[in-house]
Amino acid sequence: MIYTVSTISLGIQLVVLSLLLSAVFLKSQKKYRQHGIVMLSAVALHMISIIVVMVPSFGSFFSMPDLIDFADTLVIVTFIHVSSGLLAAMLGIWLVSSWHFKTELQNCFRKKHVMDVTFTLWSLAIVLGIILYLAIIQAF
């Protein structure tokens, strides 16, 4: 069961990654409205994945806290993955909610540094998530 859920989650995150890369391409083409719509889609899909798959998975991680070895590399990777992913999700929500289909883009341009940080955190979380996925399927 965990293998199936992990595979579905990975598939969703790969779709999110492709949306992120598409949004970056649209931005480079100066198609800012389309960029915003694709980013809104990525954030929405990412939030669904977090709520439905990742929160319950992380909760089960702590079902037996006595067995967690905080010096274990995989546990450290998990905490970095969760921290960067959660921060990226919160920043993504803030960015798309502050945009909410405005035609005036000057306010968006002022947030470019936040967008860059969000993209970096999101990319880190996805890469670490892939590493965790590979570790999970290798364990089975």
Express each pLDDT in 97-136 by its tens digit: 887 656 666 666 677 788 889 989 988 998 998 898 888 7
DSSP codes joined into one string, 93-104 = HHHHHHHTT-S-
Q: What is the mean pLDDT of the chain?
A: 83
Q: How confident is the model at residue 26 (pLDDT cuts 50, 70, 90)?
A: very high
Q: Which of 3-7, 11-15, 46-50, 64-68 has the lowest mean pLDDT?
A: 64-68
**Closest residue by Cα to residue 74 from 66, 82, 63:** 82
Q: Which two tokens stand for residue 18?
A: 């492709």
The model's pTM: 0.80
DSSP state of 54: I
Torsion of CA 63, 69, 75, 80, to 10 degrees: 100
Question: What pLDDT, on the 0 to 100 scale, is given for residue 121?
Answer: 94
pLDDT > 70 in the chain, percent: 85
Whether residue 2 is predicted with pLDDT greater than 70 in this model: the reply is no
CA distance 76 to 44: 27
Question: What pLDDT, on the 0 to 100 scale, is given for residue 5?
Answer: 77
